Amino acid sequence: MTVRKNQANLTAAEKKAFVDAVLEVKRRGIYDEFVAAHRLRFALDMNTGIYVGHFGPSFLPWHRKYLIDFERELQKINPQVSIPYWDWTADNTVGASLWAPDFLGGTGRPLDDQVMDGPFAYAAGNWNINIQVDSRPFLARNLGYRVPTLPTRAQVDAALAIPYYDSAPFASGSDGFRSTLEGSNGYMSMHNRVHTWVWGQMESSVSPNDPVFWLHHAFVDKLWADWHALHPTSAEYLPAAATPDVIDLNETMPPWTNTTPQSVLDHTQFYIYA
């Protein structure tokens, strides 16, 4: 059984194994396929008015499947590797352990936000940004530049206390756990705020170019699992059926041909959190 751990509790060997697997997936060209898929999905969600990966109820199951697929690619390199999660309510400073040179590297330099240390620095030669929204070939970050703080534990607890998954109109104006966690009721809150706090590629449709994307979304996914554990009698997913412009419980989520929200509701068939 795959166990996803808090990045703060990883050993040096576990950090290296994760980094090495990510670098190898990148070297094989598979990593950029994931970035391209996210860029396309975000563009479709933003511009078509049909919400699949973002801005609607399938935000959480879509990203769950996306992470499962990426984790499987990592495990083709090393079966012992899993995606760690970043609890940004606790590790909420630029000095947190995940930004160390032996793991993800730190913030970018003042001139152009280029990350200069760690295994994903452009200067290390292993991490060119090939799927772009601008001309920068390097990983960029500016931690805390746009918003100075990350979401708090109190905000997370308030979201977890909401007893229903989502509500009409099942879009940015919706109420419920999903929209609160995604941040669609306030762009600078929760999941969205973390992307903005990191800045660089994380604040764009090509956000998976920054490996912290996977750790961020693993924590978002964990919070969904925590929410379900707290509300076992609530509807696990809404809407149930016949809802225009969003994905219903048993409707297929593009680009997959055999994955519905229902099929990924039980995360324990794939992994558990420690």
- In this structure, what CATH number is given to the domain that contains residue 197? 1.10.1280.10
Whether 64 contacts 196, CB under 8 Å: no
* Dihedral of alpha carbons 52, 56, 61, 66, sign: positive
The residues with which 85 forms a beta bridge, in sequence order, are 6
Residue of 102, 108, 135 lying closest to 198 (CA atoms): 108
pTM for the structure as a whole: 0.98
Q: Per residue, what are the HEC states of 85-113?
A: ECCCCCCCCCCCHHHCCCCCCCCECCCCC
Structural domain harbouring 72: 2-273
* pLDDT for position 251: 98
Q: What gap in Å lies between CA 82 and CA 61, rounded to an integer? A: 18
Whether 176 contacts 46, CB under 8 Å: no
* pLDDT for position 127: 98
Farthest CA pair distance, the chain: 52
Q: Which two tokens stand for residue 91?
A: 């590790």
Whether 191 contacts 185, CB under 8 Å: no
CA angle 33, 260, 208 (to 5 degrees): 25
The domain total for the chain is 1
* pLDDT for position 189: 82
Q: What gap in Å lies between CA 43 and CA 24, rounded to an integer? A: 27
CA angle 242, 244, 245 (to 5 degrees): 135
Q: What gap in Å lies between CA 258 and CA 22, rounded to an integer? A: 26
pLDDT along the chain (274 residues), means of 10: 98 98 98 98 96 97 98 98 98 98 98 97 97 96 96 95 95 89 77 97 98 99 98 93 96 98 98 98
Find the helix packing angle between 59-77 and 12-27, rounded to 10°.
Answer: 90
Whether 183 contacts 190, CB under 8 Å: yes
Report the 10 Å Cβ neighbour count for 263: 17
Q: What gap in Å lies between CA 250 and CA 126, rounded to an integer? A: 40
